[in-house]
Structure 1
Amino acid sequence: MANKPCLYFFPVYAAGHLISMIEFAKRLSTFDNSLSIHFLLMLPEDPSHNSPLCSSYLQSLQAQNTPFQFHPLPFVEPPTSFDGIEEFLSLKATYYMPHVKAELLASPSPVSGLFVDFFANDVIDVANELNIPSYVFYTSPATSFALFSHLSNQEQENDPKEFSEAGEICVPGLVPIPSTCWPDVFWNRKSRSYKSLMNFVRLCSKAKAVVVNSNIYLEKAAVEALTEGTQLIPGQKLYPIGPVLSLRESNSKDHECLKWLDGQPMKSVVFLCFGNRGAFDVSQNREIARALEQSGHRFLWVVRTASKNLLRELTNGNLDEVLPRGFLEKTKERGLVWPSLVPQIEILSHKAIGGFVTHCGWNSTMEGLWFGVPMVPWPHGAEQHLNAFHLVKELQVAVDMEIDRKSEGFVSATELERAIKCLMDEGSEERRRVREKAEEIKLACRKAVEVGGVSYAHMQKLSEELGMQKGHSQST
């Protein structure tokens, strides 16, 4: 290992970022195994709230003898003054810069590149100081990157157009994005979090390229806008290499949820799951319960409780507290409510699943698309409202649902019941349409990553670029 050129990765310690970057590294290593791959790991802010998804995933890699080197960095005290997750992550990355620099300087062999998470872009300055080629790994969709790049360009041109509640943002090459789909951070362009977000985008120009977990089949307009001369990212190379997913075999075959699904008819079950930060209060959970009871459809519903740490990692749900009295008894013949982590990949790939009510995190979205499962989007934050808009309006693989953003994303039982029936009712024209589209996108995703596919070709070009840098050595 000591004789191999080294490739370093610096992810954000959150499941949707860490797992995605490691899976990307796995795929990259299949193109060129002459590089020694190293991960520089942040430590969670509070060890008592260590992400169970991250920790179980890392343990599984050890069990598989994955030939990557993992370097836990020294603990740093987290920021205490910030106005949102964007500024928090920016500050945290700067705190880690001395430790990243020390690891790179101590590399056992020449370093041919450093991949950083988009939200850790400040670390690009360390790579440039050491004369190491740097790359940004963007775990969210190309559409959001195009939007952020457009707004960053406006800021630099001193033309920050004000947003209005009834307005749209017109990004060159994309359909106009209505205000109902903007990320929350957009509503205060003077906030430190918004400024941090724009800074992340500007820092991308210091990297050799941006790697996006998407492809032209998933986001044709955005990928073309970013790569075909619209000047959204002037002079910046883009590698759309997705979908990158963790599709590893797990030890979950005996999980109670999967056993229950084995007894259900083909495509008859709607799956409700809202990611590793998706939890509702009692009143919203009772609206969901009423919708499921009244819809008449089979369901598998994951109910969790949010912890109080910044990343709102979830704990097991207390079903006695959040569900209406008698709900479990009345629906026991056609429904299952589960209060803890579930094997989402295995569930979405199960023949009994016919629909997915999802928070529209990009990883969950791509998992649904990979298995051809049509969706009902219920976005919570970040770029999820934009993802929902894309699924409904452009990919047409989802049934739209009215969400009250002014009331923290509230959805009434009546509206959820309507959406579920559109998605699941036999004879529903909307059901037929979204299922056909979902199957079409499923086949396109798989074609993209096969030998000769568009994502495969971009990954091959990136591997070749890294190969040309194998003899690279950093300066001290």
Structure 2
Amino acid sequence: MAAPPTPTLVLLPEWGAGHLMSMLESCKRLLLRGGRAFSITLLVMRPPTAQATSQVEEHVRREAASGLDIRFHRLPAVDPPADAAGVEDFIARYIQLHAPHVRDAVAGMPCPVAALVLDLFAAPMVDVARGLGVPSYVFMSSTGAMLALMLHLPVLHRVVTVGFDELDGELLWHGIPMAPWPLYAEQHLNAFELVADMGVAVPLKVDRKRDNFVEATELERAVRCLMGEEGRKAREKAAEMRDVCRKAVENGGSSDAALQRLSEALHDGAVPPTI
């Protein structure tokens, strides 16, 4: 009797490296954690720019040579929206235009589908999964580049100015207190959480009416606060959170156990798409 086909985990990431690679790497951990009880199928959208397209193709070439059970399904190209109200709206609408192609791709899978994993920008496509009777998850991505930056900061020998996006996870891992400077999207909420909820940061007053401008005197105050006695509690709390984070990913830790449960749920819940 032939063995049943291996279920596949279908991924739909946004094309940016911080979205595509973080989703793919997380699902590769699931693949390895589950004893390769399922494969990975990555739905590849053609990005709206030539530079982004080149970067995506480089990622695809590298992962295709990894030896893991990862397949790549290129979706048909779509015309970008011409009247988007800003970058976030453009990305969300551009991705949503792929909905019919995503439906066709998932419906045509030759094996059971463990789940459709969606980028946050593609969250409305849970309706596509629901229509096919397939489980769906929305993946909240962060960027590994920020982790590399934080590891390198102690050895920097020059002043560097950079925009930080979604640093809270990496900062907690390394026990680094901060003065968050939110710029856009959910960063204002992240900054509030770091200061008021977690207690690992000191507040930095930004002028949202002037594109989140910060006065030099305010920046100096926040930095001095972090380095002085006033920032001591934030430093202590950051060190405490560092230990909690590291314990969570150890063998048997809460994150490790959650990853195992998710792997089992994905495998047990795999279903053939229904049209």
Whether 1:411 and 2:214 are equivalent positions in the alignment is yes
> With CA pairs under 8 Å and 6+ residues apart, which has the higher RCO, 1 or 2?
2
Q: Distance in 1 between matches of 2:38 and 2:49?
A: 33
> Which residue of structure 2 aligns with residue 328 of structure 1?
none
Among 154, 158, 165, which residue is 1:352 paired with? 154
Write the letter of the residue equivalent to 2:221. R
Q: Distance in 1 between matches of 2:40 and 2:64?
A: 14
In the TM superposition, what is the alpha-carbon distance from 1:351 to its structure 2 partner? 7.7
In the TM superposition, what is the alpha-carbon distance from 1:358 to its structure 2 partner? 7.3
How many corresponding residue pairs? Answer: 269
Counterparts in 2 of 1:372 and 1:60: CA distance versus 1, 3 Å: farther
Pairing 1:91-240 to 2, within 5 Å after superposition: 91-139=93-141
In the TM superposition, what is the alpha-carbon distance from 1:55 to its structure 2 partner? 6.3
Computed over aligned residues only, the root mean square deviation of the Cα atoms, in angstroms, reads 2.9
Q: Which consecutive residues of structure 2, in runs of 5 or more, have no partner in the other structure?
A: none
Q: Distance in 1 between matches of 2:154 and 2:92?
A: 42
Q: Distance in 1 between matches of 2:65 and 2:235?
A: 37
Whether 1:361 and 2:161 are equivalent positions in the alignment is no
Equivalent residue of 1:475, what SS? Answer: coil
- TM-score, normalised to structure 2, is 0.84
Equivalent residue of 1:455, what SS? Answer: helix
> Which residue of structure 2 aligns with residue 439 of structure 1?
239
Write the letter of the residue equivalent to 1:81. D
Counterparts in 2 of 1:395 and 1:407: CA distance versus 1, 3 Å: same
Q: Distance in 2 between matches of 1:371 and 1:59?
A: 32
In the TM superposition, what is the alpha-carbon distance from 1:137 to its structure 2 partner? 2.1
Among 182, 190, 193, which residue is 1:379 paired with? 182
Q: Distance in 2 between matches of 1:397 and 1:66?
A: 39
Q: Distance in 2 between matches of 1:392 and 1:83?
A: 31
Asked if the contact 2:7–2:267 (Cα under 8 Å) also holds between the matched residues in 1, the reply is: no
> Which residue of structure 2 aligns with residue 41 of structure 1?
44
Write the letter of the residue equivalent to 1:375. M
Q: Distance in 2 between matches of 1:132 and 1:420?
A: 49
More helix by share: 2
Q: Distance in 2 between matches of 1:80 and 1:368?
A: 38
In the TM superposition, what is the alpha-carbon distance from 1:344 to its structure 2 partner? 4.2
In the TM superposition, what is the alpha-carbon distance from 1:445 to its structure 2 partner? 1.2
Pairing 1:2-13 to 2, within 5 Å after superposition: 3-13=5-15
Among 435, 453, 473, which residue is 2:253 paired with? 453
Give the share of equivalent positions with the same residue, in percent.
Answer: 41
Q: Distance in 2 between matches of 1:99 and 1:454?
A: 37
In the TM superposition, what is the alpha-carbon distance from 1:398 to its structure 2 partner? 1.5
More strand by share: 1
Write the letter of the residue equivalent to 2:136. S
Write the letter of the residue equivalent to 1:430. E
Among 258, 269, 274, which residue is 1:469 paired with? 269
Mark the structure with the bigger radius of gyration: 1
Q: Distance in 2 between matches of 1:56 and 1:430?
A: 47
- TM-score, normalised to structure 1, is 0.51
